[in-house]
Structure 1
């Protein structure tokens, strides 16, 4: 059931609660997922289900309530698919399935806000930024880089409920974005989302550049009005390294002048070679950091440590970077599905546990399942078990790559 179906604006979190009840007793908490809703983002919100009890027709029932959050990204009617429930026996094996009812919400654009952009609807939103190095003190040369770090926080909205900001740059500047980082906090059932975006600007040639401001519009749910936070841009001057080579006054011999000129030419050639290598190295480094291989390596480093939250975030990032056929094949691997289920229950359910041994198993299975999926992605069957519920952290919302 939804906490509301009308009077909703783009970006506003809508809570969807799924109750699963069993007559008499519940052998094991079930797994619950809600599929993709075109035009909206559906995230798992709470860390675990809430225990329920009820009397229906004179018979006692027990079960759990699971909470999701729907973030509409466009106006109009949005259909939310039925909840899919996997029932488990006492040993944790799948024992059956059930489905809930489809839901529909009606969404409008917040007055005074362009709903095609990254809208947040909350009671309070803040955004800050910092630059590395300080643009006012930096002495940048062609091939140099400037990093912009933006942090957004919002009450009641997890990090994964915040849409991407629009970072742009003038001609002659390349932009490389790191995967966003989440630092959500949960206090008495209320989440305060915090998303950190790190963007690198690489300057290809000398010149004067104005890096644009970044604007985060948001709808004040409490005050029912449009607001925005503007993060100022900056001016950057990129200078060509100077070459000092002055001739001597009327020397009797020309060979010292020729020698000096030759040295200068060699130094210039060496500098250009180093600049080219530096720029190529920065581009390759940025491309690698945003690649599937980097995400897989990070997952393999984190998993053996046994930290369920860090492992989940690393797994989310890796799955999100896989091509769809490869991701489907990996999720269809029975060993991967079992370990993913254990990881999910350790964060969102009851009876689950995670350890460094399970983390080492996951590292091994990830490598083997990925290798097999790359060899025959077209033969990968659809996932038999529901995927992990997304979370930005152990106490927050999930990342989309797992859905």
Structure 2
């Protein structure tokens, strides 16, 4: 009988250490000489070596072939506080084009990309990869566990520095963090978590000491925040006492990244039109936010304004008209009339062309605004409908007759504003059909009003002498 060399060594070690082996084990370690030869043992060793080498290479290849990594920078955050999500893409060669991300839509949660991707390199095992680092800020108004489900990422990169471009589709892993509602913020609609919130305002005119009925006072409110997006800044309150009409315009919002930190600003413009004499108190504005570093609520207040509105003197217009009454002789009027007719004959065609061009331009802009609004309502796009309504009102407004969405559309405008900005927003969605009906009715009322006004402005055919 001959013994396999490795088995012989094992048996020898067991005997030197006084370890008894079972008989079955001894039978397995001992084999007939004609069945196991030295060349067969070498073949077995070679096969085992090849299998182990293949396993190691496949493991390295699998670990190096991971096309992306996703992570978040914290496990717990305050409601409204920015949570950084980092997605790093890997490519053996240079990247080609722009990566696209199918970001998930979550209730009361926003995922905002910040800045441009940062290109670098990283060694994975024995291989070197080019990387792209993409950063996103996650803001949520929910409390509890926030789960970011896996989503797809698509990008293109070369297989080597001189290789062909290859499309890569990859999926992120599931990410989650805990959102804690700051104490004392239950009554707030939207919680802003930031260390700094600067608020300031200006009035036009600067010192409205002498105000008459019909005058317009403009209030500009500017807010700047660090570490938050402008979409977290809710509209400034447009409340006003009775006797004051309020008109708002589209806010000016800016988001920018400064040295890796997101800065945002929002400018709201509120116009107060005085309708009657009296004393009015324009309200102060209070803004509240949560300071995550100090872990307490912060608050700032912008002062209101007291208006004392005087009535227009009764005899002012009559005295002005009397002062401008001509006292020339009758033939002077005939000369003026002839001159006026000659001027009209000369300027008729140029003036007509100018008026026609302006009329076509006006109706073109107005028609485009109406089409955008109707399209947004039919698509049930609340934000687009909100912006289109404000644009339509701005186009059709003038200094003496500004249009307010609240006056034109009533309850439907309030429902749209509540859906976009109220804290208790439902998840059932918004339907643009009621607002579209209200818009059509408002357009008809305005056309009838303008038609009647144009008829009233025409001179009489047979004036009485």
TM-score (norm 1): 0.55
Residue 231, structure 1, aligned to residue 274, structure 2? no
Could you tell me which of 165, 175, 178 is aligned with 2:246? 175
**Paired position in structure 1 for 2:172:** 100
* Pairing partner for 1:37 from 95, 106, 109: 106
Aligned to 2:135: 67
Please tell me whether the aligned partners of residues 74 and 115 of structure 1 are also in contact (alpha carbons under 8 angstroms). no
2:462 paired residue number: none
Q: Which residue of structure 2 lines up, in the alignment, with residue 325 of structure 1?
A: 379
1:3 paired residue among 40, 64, 73: 73
Residue 127 (structure 1) shift? 0.6
Q: Answer 1 or 2: higher relative contact order, Cα 8 Å, separation at least 6.
A: 1
1:160-199 to structure 2, matched below 5 A, reads: 160-184=231-255, 186-199=257-270
- 1:76 equivalent to 2:140? Answer no
Secondary structure at 1:69's aligned position in 2? strand
Superposed CA RMSD: 4.0
Flag the 1:123–1:214 CA change in 2: closer, same or farther, 3 A: same
Deviations 1:36-92 (A, max 9, x none): 32112222211x1012433345443323111111222243343435444232478xx
1:145 alignment partner in structure 2: 216
Higher helix fraction (1 or 2): 2
- Residues 29, 183 of structure 1: CA spacing in aligned structure 2 closer, same or farther, 3 A cutoff? closer
In the TM superposition, structure 1's runs of 4+ consecutive aligned residues that sit over 6 Å from their partners are: none
Provide the secondary structure at the position in 2 that maps to 1:120: coil
Q: Indicate whether 1:133 and 2:201 are aligned.
A: no
Give the C-alpha shift of residue 229 in structure 1: 0.9
Given candidates 192, 203, 214, the residue that maps to 1:120 is: 192
Distance 1:87 1:184, change over 3 A: closer
Shift of 1:122: 1.4
- Matching residue of 1:220: 291
Runs of 5+ in structure 1 lacking a partner? 246-259, 265-287, 297-317, 331-403
Q: Deviations over 1:252-303 (max 9, x none)?
A: xxxxxxxx89x99xxxxxxxxxxxxxxxxxxxxxxx9xx995699xxxxxxx
Q: Classify 1:100/1:176 alpha carbon distance in 2 versus 1 (closer, same or farther; 3 Å).
A: farther
Q: Deviations over 1:77-111 (max 9, x none)?
A: 43435444232478xx9956433234333222222
SS at structure 2 position matched to 1:219: strand
Separation (CA, whole Å) in 1 of partners of 2:166 and 2:211? 61
> 1:333-352: CA deviations, max 9, x gaps?
xxxxxxxxxxxxxxxxxxxx
Q: Secondary structure at the match of 1:49?
A: strand
Query: Is the Cα contact below 8 Å between 1:216 and 1:228 reproduced in 2?
Result: yes
Residue 356 of structure 1: aligned partner: none
User: Shift of the alpha carbon at 1:159?
Assistant: 2.8
Q: Distance in 1 between matches of 2:220 and 2:305?
A: 13
1:181–1:19 CA distance, 2 compared to 1 (3 A) = same
Q: What's the offset of the Cα at 1:24?
A: 4.3
Trace 1:2-401 onto structure 2 (pairs within 5 A).
2-6=72-76, 8-46=77-115, 48-88=116-156, 95=167, 97-114=169-186, 116-134=188-206, 136-142=208-214, 144-184=215-255, 186-244=257-315, 322-323=376-377, 325=379
- In 2, distance between residues paired with 1:76 and 1:172? 46
- C-alpha change, 1:193 and 1:18, in structure 2 (3 Å) is same
Contact 1:86–1:94 (CA under 8 A) maintained in structure 2: no
Aligned residues: 264
Check conservation: 2:190, 2:232, Cα contact below 8 A. no
**Aligned partners of 2:207, 2:240: CA distance in 1, in Å?**
15
Task: Give the Å deviation of 1:139.
Answer: 0.9
SS in 1 for 2:183: coil
Deviates further, 225-234 or 187-196: 187-196
Q: Which has the larger radius of gyration?
A: 2
Instruction: Give the whole-Å Cα distance in 2 for the aligned partners of 1:9 and 1:186.
Output: 22
Q: Call closer, same or farther: CA 1:194–1:210 in 2, change over 3 Å.
A: same
Structure 2: stretches of 5+ with no match in the other structure: 1-70, 159-164, 323-362, 385-465
Secondary structure of the structure 1 residue equivalent to 2:379: helix
Q: 1:250 matched to which residue of 2?
A: none
